[in-house]
Amino acid sequence: MAPLPVEPSGPPYYTAADMETMRRRNGLDPVPPTSERKPAFRCWIADPTCGLVVEVNATSAFAYRARQGKVTDTNDILKWNSARVQYDVWVSIPTMTESRGKIRYTRLSLGPKGGVIASDSKDIWGNFGIAGRYWFSRKRFAPNLEFTSALVFKIAGINRNGNFDSARGPLGFAADIGFGIGGFGSIIVGGQFDSPLAREDVPDVERTPVSGMFYIGFRGNILWGLPAAAAIGTHAAANRLVTAP
């Protein structure tokens, strides 16, 4: 009778084939990463390898604006084509992460954001809200889904005398969603609603009419230049070429 094989002492050991089967079953990479990929611009541009990210984004977009005309006439609605420019600071905090070996990647980030919005007629709004980004892969140019929502408030514009002046208005709301490549830029679609201030005790000339806009455009990190240049050019063109009714 042949002697029985001697069991090795210590914990169980696996062959290369066993490890390959295990990695395939759990959806892991065939070859685990041995070194961490360095993000671009030291995480000033969002990347799946980054943790906390503080970024400055600029938006330039085509906008379809609408505003109530005379507040005493329910059918008086003004509509026109315009542009929208937005400069925001995002603080992206990793809220869902995943690990590959000893390397951790961000899958979902969420955090506060705030900045200014501008359009034709020297209209300027402030905004403060939240922004998020979901990464679909771990590569440098990983596709991602961006989403933002914020409260908006008018801070300046053309007054009834035709002069640029500071303005006060009720809170509105803005939201958008976009598809991006890396943290460099994204195509976005969104809308903004400005609530009215039309109480009966307020004189007609002082009432703030309801207004809003739908917009589609490009948002990107200003560090690589193009988003900032596009926003500045769009802002200048909107104020020179667009005349609000």
Amino acid at 26: N
Is residue 176 one of the residues assigned to a domain? yes
Q: Quick check: is 4 in a domain?
A: no
pLDDT one-digit tens code per residue, 165-188: 777 777 899 999 999 998 899 999
Structurally, the chain folds into a number of domains equal to 1
Burial class (CB in 10 A: 0-12, 13-18, 19+), 143: middle
What six digits make up the tokens of 35?
């070194």
What's the pLDDT at 239?
A: 87
In-domain check, residue 1:
no
Q: Is 114 a domain residue?
A: yes
Say what the pLDDT of residue 73 is. Answer: 67
Q: What is the pLDDT of residues 122-181, one digit of tens each?
A: 889 999 999 999 999 888 889 999 999 999 998 887 777 777 777 777 789 999 999 999
State the pLDDT confidence band at 207, using cuts at 50, 70 and 90: low
Mean pLDDT of 93-115: 89
Per DSSP, the three-state class of 20 is helix
Residues 118 and 233: beta-carbon distance below 8 Å: no
Give the pTM: 0.80
* Strand runs labelled E in 49-199: 53-68, 77-100, 103-118, 124-135, 143-158, 164-166, 172-181, 185-194
- The verdict on residue 6 lying in a domain is no
Longest CA span, the chain:
109
The predicted-structure confidence for 3-13, as pLDDT tens digits, reads as follows: 666 666 655 66
Whether 131 is in a domain gets the answer yes
pLDDT tens-digit profile of 14-69?
777 877 888 788 777 777 666 667 777 788 999 998 889 999 999 999 999 998 87
For residue 10, tell me if it sits in a domain: no
Whole-number Å distance between alpha carbons of 181 and 147:
14
- Count each helix (H run) and each strand (E run) in the chain, helices first: 2, 9
Domain region containing 216: 16-241
Q: What pLDDT is stored for residue 12 in this prediction?
A: 65
Quick check: is 157 in a domain? yes
